[in-house]
A and B are shown apart, each in its own frame.
Chain A
């Protein structure tokens, strides 16, 4: 099956009086899309809407032209969906393999032999084969995160919704998880919310930047990096600036106006993201009735 194109139209979501998502027209093409934004930007809300966990009204989410408000279209999406939520919502008393079997059964994978095969395969992919008989409560934070990702891949879904899949992982496992997400990117439409923009950029064809529930950038990672051209500096002088990263004890990377002693460097995707955030924050502050 060809991976689907997702189109969002006039999508709004509120918690009480607060609007947490306000997207007019957004197209998420097949391939992997990284969703960037600070905490509270609306990433998780958007992913929950895409995963059909929350109601979409008002606004529409179309999957290959079918509105998922329609029960048939929603069921069709759920049959091709893998979802990993931000929280490690795992049942602590269950064993790892038992949990995978349960999730595969929810995904209507039958018979049990097929579920066992999927479990064996997917636990191997995330490096948890040795822990298949362990109780989930005995797993480390990183292992739990890998299990959350593993369950989303059960059944080889062609729509994959991942909320912060790299959180709690060490560098080695982050790298292997990115490889795993990238492995079948052409066969899937994957949307990944992440704070690890540079690491995910290697696996993504598209990037979206959200702030305050609104979209401020959509395009390929290279184009996002280009947003910061001429605004990225490395300096040995610590300065008071929001877009500063410490690269070492006496090395700082700054996105913005040139600091004293700053040397221009090539921007990364993360630099581009910070640059867009700076502009977006500035635009929001200066917006009328803000």
Chain B
């Protein structure tokens, strides 16, 4: 206890310290708690300080920083997954577009996995407390999923730009990633996010293989897919908001 704290402790114990006897001891004690709370408060994490600077609301910052998928282990897994995708793309001996297609196929799986691991009984020890809290469960789920989506998309975007060729085609994974993540979020109103992500991810891979075999991999990530992804994202988002009551009692089982 430093000098200031010692003096404040004395002040709370003896109102006469201030030369008056009509100070409410309960109020003094409460004030002391406030002072202690400020003095002892640990320094906020860098992420929390960054979020505040970006204008994220006071109630949202702790929910973002508590996202289970935002731990170092998750980032390590993401980095390994991306390195693997880039490595596969670089070692491919076919045309430039095909090499990038490998990356474009695997890249949307990263945010998808992040969303699956952002929330739910199996991954979040505080799941029951989230459901029992007055904060809307869907809001917490969305905050965490968006956090993971933004974080993983940012890493993927940098990785995309590091690919030696492909131009704008290198970022053609973005809208499909949003679409399959949005489908997972919407389906999570009925099924567990992890199971849903498994089904959606497998379907995505199957779809890419089928289309690439029938036409070309360039067609798979062309304008039609981009527009379809955008429409899917909007529809899934609308469904998610319309089904928000489903989250209210049971939360998300996984």
Contacts and interface: CB of A to CB of B under 8 A. Distances in A.
A101 interface: yes
A175 interface: no
A100 B124 CA distance: 16
A92 B131 CA distance: 20
A119 interface: yes
Contact of B130 (A95, A97, A106, A124): A106
A119 B248 CA distance: 27
Interface string B151-188: 00000000000000000000000000000000000000
B82 to A, nearest CB: 23
A240 interface: no
Nearest to B121: A89
A74 B248 contact: yes
B58 A55 contact: no
Interface string B36-74: 111011100100000000000011111101101001000
Given A55-B250, A102-B63, A117-B37, A107 B42 contact: no
B33 interface: yes
A78 interface: yes
B59 A110 contact: yes
Contacts of B134: 75, 78-79, 106-108
A75 B58 CA distance: 21
Interface string B74-108: 00000000000000000000000000000000000
A90 B130 contact: no
A39 B251 CA distance: 26
Contacts of B223: none
A106 B249 contact: no
A197 B132 CA distance: 27
B5 interface: no
Contacts of A101: 62
A117 B33 contact: yes
A53 B62 contact: no
Contacts of B127: 89
A94 B129 CA distance: 15
Contacts, number: 113
B140 to A, nearest CB: 7
Contacts of B128: 48, 51, 53, 83, 85, 89
A257 interface: no
A105 B132 contact: no
* A: interface residue count bin: 35 or more
A81 B128 CA distance: 13
Contact of A121 (B33, B68, B125): B33
Contact of A102 (B62, B245, B248): B62
Interface residues of B, number: 37
Contact of A106 (B45, B71, B129, B248): B129
A91 to B, nearest CB: 5
Given A105-B59, A117-B34, A119-B37, A81 B132 contact: yes
A257 B206 CA distance: 71
B34 A53 contact: no
B132 A51 contact: yes
Contacts of B124: 91
A103 B42 contact: no
Nearest to A148: B129
A196 interface: no
B215 interface: no
Given A71-B248, A151-B129, A106 B135 contact: yes
Contact of B71 (A74, A93, A120): A93
A112 interface: yes
A55 B62 contact: no
Nearest to A119: B37
Nearest to B130: A106
B129 A83 contact: yes
B16 interface: no
The 3 closest A-B pairs by CB, nearest first: A120-B37, A106-B133, A105-B62
Given A71-B248, A105-B58, A113-B37, 13 more contacts: A51-B128, A54-B249, A75-B134, A79-B134, A89-B127, A93-B71, A94-B66, A106-B133, A116-B37, A117-B37, A119-B37, A129-B40, A133-B42
Interface of B: 33-34, 36-38, 40-42, 45, 58-63, 65-66, 68, 71, 124-135, 140, 245, 248-251
28 contacts: A51-B128, A52-B131, A53-B131, A55-B249, A78-B133, A83-B128, A85-B128, A90-B125, A91-B66, A91-B124, A92-B125, A98-B42, A102-B63, A102-B65, A104-B62, A105-B61, A106-B129, A106-B134, A107-B135, A108-B133, A110-B58, A110-B59, A113-B38, A115-B62, A119-B37, A120-B37, A124-B33, A132-B40
